[in-house]
Chains A and B, each alone.
Chain A
């Protein structure tokens, strides 16, 4: 085929097949779609960061590290694997989208990945201020049984163990030095506060508390440190606690809200 023959052949085929250039909007749409998907992926990654920040900040690591036992094993239990994997997946997805934009390929893979992680962290930190992290975590916990099972270890960390720690929900304040508590496994405890260290805390029924101390007589926990969690702190994986309460035929005291509040001052 000579020089002119190829040109003629191409132009002839364009004419006979009535080919015409694809409209510009198709390419703009594709480009827009790439950026939109990339932005959505960064947004989801940021939500994951917000939940990670919430999980870490609400895990009372300082208390755990003071407890006897194996804090490293506890750290592994508290590690937010699910959200970190989700963050990694969406950063990868966003990176793919960015690299497939018109000029995205010019940037180094690592530069794009690091920029996306940084953006997710900054936006995620902002989200965590607005409480989105906690809301998402609780929504997942209430609606996804799988999520609860996956994250169950973070609640187990506060089960009574040789580590000398106990977490649970206050059932009833008995007097200024004792209250009744139910742990995540549905076991009832009397918490003795006589040995409490300098701590000021308002204890009211339905509040979630986490404590360090020692096991005393059967069913008694002698607390040395107590931390009262905010009222909206999840007590444990949804279902697990409530089911046990039902199976055990127990329920929160009906007048729980009216029980007087005590101030415990060490």
Chain B
């Protein structure tokens, strides 16, 4: 029913209306639930139940702060930012280092990442996927999250800048350094395999 209700509105319009009517917030939950659940899993190694708890907290925080949403931004960037902060906050509570465990993306995404990193094209997709997960798990958290945002969440530099609250130039450098570190990690894993 809520899907019908919000069908004609953009996320940003729904966010404005959600401040006055919870039903519109329900539409936003429907639109973002799956995407954010995947994002949480890609950033962290929490269980499915824990991911749901995090996601619930994310939506509650988003609802409480919905009037802080700047309509000149994309709503997706804003809610991704809240999600990322919540994941970090959960990890601080657990004093653990985030590791992703669910890289549930299509082969084309995996191949795009492999191409960008300029790593073995001959490796079979299944193997490549497993090795890229290892690579992503071994690099710094700040680099991992920009690669996840760029390749798995398909966010632009400007959107990543809004999510991480960093200047777009800094994001570009982060991505570049992330690729460098990922390539080094790949070499470490395949130290006998020339690239």
Point out residues on A near B: beta carbons under 8 Å.
1, 3, 6-7, 9-11, 13-15, 19, 21-24, 27, 102-103, 105-109
Contact = CB atoms under 8 A, between A and B. Distances in A.
Contacts of B165: 105
B161 A106 contact: yes
| Top-9 shortest CB links A-B | A105-B165, A27-B68, A7-B29, A24-B67, A10-B59, A21-B66, A108-B167, A21-B19, A21-B67
A21 B65 CA distance: 6
Given A21-B63, A21-B65, A7 B30 contact: yes
Contacts of B56: 6, 9-10, 13
Contacts of B64: 19, 21-22
B59 A1 contact: no
A103 to B, nearest CB: 8
Contacts of B107: none
B63 A108 contact: no
A220 B30 CA distance: 93
Contacts, number: 67
A9 B49 CA distance: 14
Interface of B: 2, 18-19, 22, 25-26, 29-30, 33-34, 52, 55-56, 59-60, 63-68, 70, 161-162, 165-170
Contacts of A27: 65, 67-68
B61 to A, nearest CB: 10
B33 A7 contact: yes
Given A10-B56, A11-B26, A19-B63, A105 B167 contact: yes
Given A10-B60, A11-B25, A3 B34 contact: yes
